[in-house]
């Protein structure tokens, strides 16, 4: 079966982001970029399923600036067979527009399973996967920590607030990944070289017939208020005294 | 225009977060209708009817709503969405699951995890793990919104809304609910607790969490954890606090053996008072702590439990 995975290019999760001085966005010039961690988990899952003989082809999709080609190459170095970039330039891509583009590609590619990250760690929206599945009228499994395909359905385990939930969903379906689905592999140099030769198609949103005009207007961005500096206590007795007499929370 | 608030509940009680969502709805303005969906959940609808500010409660009670099935949930809300200008749910595992599905069906760009209401179309929401706050304005006809509970006070009791039955929506049959494994605990729920004691990789093992639980019991606190502690198998996944876990803001948060990665801070830095105990004097958690102790947790935590 064919699997489609989505990979977003984001600021590296361990970089401290800075707000631009004019409050219009965050500084991205000369900032280290990376594949969204949840998308790495999505690619890893697809590759493991291919290694297990369940999956025959993996198509990776990224949406954004031309540099997303690098993210697609990383996905291919991990084991994806080919890549599709929808070049949207500098437009602020919001989850609904992303979902419409992904749906348009799914209509062409006809995968049996779509694996997406549960959340992009830049906009923290946690929407696109659920939206893709809604637009297709497919079942969804959001925040998935285990998946086993059985013919025309899949048994999935989802992380919910009180613990875990198990579902059986019909295929085709959209699954979004949670952290504990797997631990992504590191890419090796030979695989990076191999990935350079894999096919990478570039499309424009117009070719897919999707209007990507943002629905949300960002009026401003700012840093949250800073906490005032705390104090170091010498020992447990001082800590207890501070809690009782100063903070008065116990 | 009216505001629809979708309740999260366990069949009998509302889950923490729902009443905070009512407060967010009240800030938007307009009549508030609460929708209670589930199987055998009439009791929860009665509780919802008593929340101050709620004008009407709609109850959709049918077997297809056992479990959290996003497909049927979104299909149901869609049948009444036309009556509302805003549809709100808590930004918990519950709301995050079906609300984007509903938004897509309404061709609306959901506004996730709002922490403040500026006006009926403008909201503040954290991005980049809470390191940046964005003020966004929506042009959509119906605004689909999930609400960060820590940004709003809980609405009080004192209402007396009428409860009306709502016919079940279509059963999409797309997914079958097999079951849930809920971790059982006598301690307060993380998102509702006044005090939280959280442990990280520094705890070393699940067995060692006992010393932290003893402290929690002394304080009547909930127990939380970092992702590293969860991934190491010390505690279940629903203990995780952070960007991808639960967002909490208790009166007192005690971080023990947690380094303070930005993804962890994202989930707890709005707590009123933060204490950190860590043996590393350079631990980044100290930057957000009100009081910090550089010490071995295996010595300091039992001492703290004893002195309280
Ligand atoms: C996309 C993404 C999402 C993430 N989401 C989350 C999230 O939601 N929540 C989260 O927590 N993390 C999250 N993380 C992981 C995060 O980056 C850190 O890896 C994690 O928080 C580290 O957990 P920790 O502080 O317990 O472990 P460590 O960083 O290993 O810190 C352990 C600490 O314990 C101290 N220690 C050790 N022994 C003792 C002792 N005997 N006495 C006292 N102190 C001791 C050490 O000095 C150290 O500071 C996420 C990461 C990514 C990439
Ligand atoms: N621009 C994009 N390109 C590729 N995938 C994306 C893009 N935006 C979102 N996604 C996918 O959708 C998931 C959820 O994103 P979000 O709804 O923005 O939090 C991500 O983890 C990605 O897998």
pLDDT at site A229:
85
- Cβ atoms of residues A109 and A3 within 8 Å: no
Neighbours of A197 (CB within 10 A): 7
Q: What is the mean pLDDT of residues A57-62?
A: 98
Mean pLDDT rounded to a whole number for chain A: 96
Task: Report the C-alpha gap between B5 and B24 in whole angstroms.
Answer: 10
CA B103, B106, B111 angle in degrees (round to 5)? 30
pLDDT in the model for residue B185: 85
ipTM of this predicted structure = 0.95
Rounded to the nearest integer, the mean pLDDT of chain B is 96
Inspect the interface and report whether the beta carbons of A219 and B135 lie closer than 8 Å: yes
B124 touching A, CB under 8 A? Answer: no
Q: Which of A7, A10, A11, A13 for mutating ligand 1's site (highest number of atoms within 8 Å of CB)?
A: A13
Is B112 an interface residue toward A (CB < 8 Å)? yes
Both tokens of A187, joined, read: 């890419």
Q: Measuring from atom 13 of ligand 2, which residue has the nearest CA? A: A117
Residues B226/B264, Cβ–Cβ less than 8 Å:
yes
CB atoms within 10 A of CB B245: 25
**CB A167, CB A143: distance < 8 Å:** no
Structure tokens at A135: 């637009």
- For residue B143, what pLDDT is reported? 98
What's the token pair of residue B181? Answer: 């494994």
The predicted-structure confidence for B240-290, as pLDDT tens digits, reads as follows: 999 999 999 999 999 999 999 999 999 999 999 999 999 999 999 999 999
**What's the rounded Cα separation, in Å, for the pair A132 and A140?**
9
Q: pTM for the complete prediction?
A: 0.96
pLDDT tens digits for A136-165?
999 999 999 999 999 999 999 999 988 999
Say which residues have a Cβ less than 8 Å from residue B64's Cβ, sequence separation at least 6. B39, B72, B168, B171
* Phi, psi for B78 (deg, rounded to 5): -60, -30
* pLDDT tens-digit map of B103-147: 999 999 999 999 999 999 999 999 999 999 999 999 999 999 999
Residue B86 CA to ligand 1 center (angstroms) comes to 38
pLDDT per residue as tens digits for the range B64-114: 998 778 999 999 999 999 999 999 999 999 999 999 999 999 999 999 999
Q: Is the dihedral of CA B100, B103, B109, B114 positive or negative?
A: negative
Q: Which residues pair with A221 in a beta bridge?
A: B134
Q: Token digits for A66?
A: 């031309």
DSSP string, B105-137: HTT---EEEE-EEEETTEEEEEEGGGTEEEEEE
Q: Supply the DSSP string of A35-76, one letter for each residue.
A: E-HHHHHHHHHHHHHHHTTS-SEEEEEEEESTTHHHHHHHHH
CA distance B248 to A167: 28
Q: Is the dihedral of CA A204, A206, A207, A212 positive or negative?
A: positive
Give me the domains of chain B, ranges plus CATH numbers.
Answer: 2-165 (3.40.50.620), 190-307 (3.40.50.1220)
pLDDT value of position B184: 84
Q: Do A165 and B110 touch (CB under 8 A)?
A: no
Which two tokens mark A29?
């010039």
> Do the chains contact at B136 and A219, CB–CB below 8 Å?
yes
Instruction: Tell me, rounded to whole angstroms, the distance of Cα B285 from its chain centroid.
Output: 23
Check A127 against B274: CB less than 8 A apart. no
Q: Which of A151, A162, A99 is nearest to A129 (CA)?
A: A99
pLDDT one-digit tens code per residue, A206-217: 999 999 999 999
Tokens coding A211: 């209007």
Q: From the list A219, A230, A237, which residue is nearest B307 (CB)? A: A237
pLDDT digits (tens, 9 = 90+) for B41-64: 999 999 999 999 999 999 999 999
> For residues B16 and A104, which has the higher predicted lDDT (pLDDT)?
A104
Question: Which residues have a Cβ under 8 Å from the Cβ of B184 and sit 6 or more positions away?
Answer: none
What is the percent of chain B where pLDDT is above 70?
Answer: 100
- Residue A29 is given by DSSP the state T
Residues of chain A positioned with their CB less than 8 A from the CB of B303: 236
**pLDDT tens across B176-198, in order?**
999 999 888 889 999 989 999 99
User: Could you give the CA distance from residue B125 to residue B247 in angstroms, rounded to a whole number?
Assistant: 13
Answer yes or no: is pLDDT of B16 > 80.
yes
Cα A115–chain centre separation: 9
Phi, psi of B43 (to 5 degrees): -65, -40
> Which residue of chain B is at minimal alpha-carbon distance from A24?
B134
Check pLDDT > 80 for residue B1.
no
Q: pLDDT-derived band of residue A228, with 50, 70 and 90 as boundaries?
A: confident
Residue range A17-58, pLDDT digits in tens: 999 999 999 999 899 999 999 999 999 999 999 999 999 999
Residue B201 DSSP class: G
CA distance A157 to A134: 20
- pLDDT of B26 reads 98
Mean pLDDT of A169-178: 98
Give the DSSP letter of residue B154: P
Starting from the edge strand earliest in sequence, which strands make up the sheet with A216-222, in order? A216-222, B132-138, B122-127, B116-119
CB–CB of B156/B20 below 8 Å? no
Place of tokens 């086993």: A148
Whole-number pLDDT of residue A104? 98
Query: What count of residues does chain B have?
Result: 308
pLDDT category, A250, cuts 50, 70, 90? Answer: confident
- Residue from B290, B292, B286, B258 nearest B271 by CA: B290
Q: What is the pLDDT of residue A162?
A: 86
Copy the structure tokens of residue B134.
């964005």
Report how far residue B206's alpha carbon sits from residue B203's, in angstroms, rounded to the nearest whole number. 8
Report yes or no: A149 and A113 within 8 Å, Cβ to Cβ: yes
pLDDT given at position A127: 98
Query: Is B80 within 8 Å of chain A by CB?
Result: no
For residue A95, report the distance from its CA to the centre of ligand 2, in Å: 7
pLDDT over threshold 90, residue A226: no
Measuring CA to CA, which residue among B227, B199, B201, B225 is closest to residue B212?
B199
Distance CA A55, CA A45 (A): 10
* C-alpha span between A242 and B155 (Å, rounded): 32
């Amino acid at each position: 079966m064919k699997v489609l995975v989505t990979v977003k290019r984001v600021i590296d999760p361990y970089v401290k982001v800075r707000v631009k001085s004019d409050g219009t966005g965050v500084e991205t010039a000369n900032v280290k970029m990376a594949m969204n961690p949840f998308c790495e988990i999505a690619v890893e899952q697809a590759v493991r399923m291919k290694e297990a003989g369940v999956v025959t082809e993996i198509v990776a999709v990224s949406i954004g600036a031309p540099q997303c080609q690098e993210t697609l190459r990383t996905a291919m170095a991990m084991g994806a067979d080919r890549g599709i970039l929808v070049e949207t330039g500098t437009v602020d891509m919001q989850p609904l527009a992303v979902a419409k583009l992904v749906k348009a590609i799914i209509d062409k590619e006809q995968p049996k399973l779509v694996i997406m990250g549960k959340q992009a760690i830049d906009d923290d929206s946690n929407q696109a996967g659920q939206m893709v599945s809604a637009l297709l009228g497919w079942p969804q499994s959001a925040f998935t920590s285990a998946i086993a395909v059985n013919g025309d359905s899949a048994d999935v385990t989802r992380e919910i607030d009180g613990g875990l939930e198990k579902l059986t969903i019909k295929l085709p379906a959209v699954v979004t990944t949670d952290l504990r689905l797997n631990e992504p592999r590191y890419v090796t140099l030979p695989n990076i070289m191999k990935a350079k030769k894999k096919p990478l198609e570039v499309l424009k949103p117009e070719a897919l017939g999707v209007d990507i005009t943002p629905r949300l207007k960002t009026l401003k961005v700012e840093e949250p208020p800073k906490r005032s500096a705390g104090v170091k206590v010498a020992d447990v007795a001082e800590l207890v005294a501070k809690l009782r007499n100063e903070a008065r929370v116990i | 225009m009216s505001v629809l608030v979708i309740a999260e509940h366990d069949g009998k009680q509302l889950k923490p977060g729902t009443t905070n969502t009512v407060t967010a709805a009240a800030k938007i303005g307009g009549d508030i209708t609460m929708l209670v969906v589930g199987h055998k959940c009439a009791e929860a609808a009665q509780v919802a009817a008593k929340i101050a500010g709620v004008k009407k409660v709609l109850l959709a009670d049918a077997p297809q709503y056992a479990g959290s099935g996003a497909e049927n949930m979104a299909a149901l809300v869609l049948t009444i969405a036309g009556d509302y200008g805003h549809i709100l749910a808590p930004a918990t595992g519950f709301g995050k699951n079906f609300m984007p599905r509903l938004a897509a069906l309404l061709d609306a760009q959901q506004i996730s995890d709002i922490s403040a209401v500026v006006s009926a179309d403008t909201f503040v929401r954290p991005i980049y793990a809470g390191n940046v706050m964005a003020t966004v304005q929506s042009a959509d006809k119906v605004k689909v919104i999930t609400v960060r509970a820590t940004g709003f006070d809980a609405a009080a009791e004192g209402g007396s809304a009428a409860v009306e039955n709502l016919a079940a929506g279509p059963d999409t049959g797309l997914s079958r609910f097999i079951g849930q494994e809920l971790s059982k605990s006598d301690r307060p729920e993380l998102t509702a607790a006044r005090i939280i004691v959280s442990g990280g990789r520094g705890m070393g093992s699940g067995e060692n969490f006992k010393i932290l639980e003893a402290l929690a019991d002394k304080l009547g606190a909930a127990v939380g954890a970092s992702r590293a502690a969860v991934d190491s198998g010390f505690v279940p996944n629903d203990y995780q606090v952070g960007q991808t876990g639960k967002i909490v803001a208790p009166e007192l948060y005690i971080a023990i053996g947690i380094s303070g990665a930005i993804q962890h801070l994202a989930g707890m830095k709005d707590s009123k008072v933060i204490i950190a105990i860590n043996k590393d004097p350079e631990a980044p958690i100290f930057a957000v702590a009100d009081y910090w102790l550089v010490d071995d947790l295996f010595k300091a935590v039992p001492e703290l439990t004893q002195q309280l």
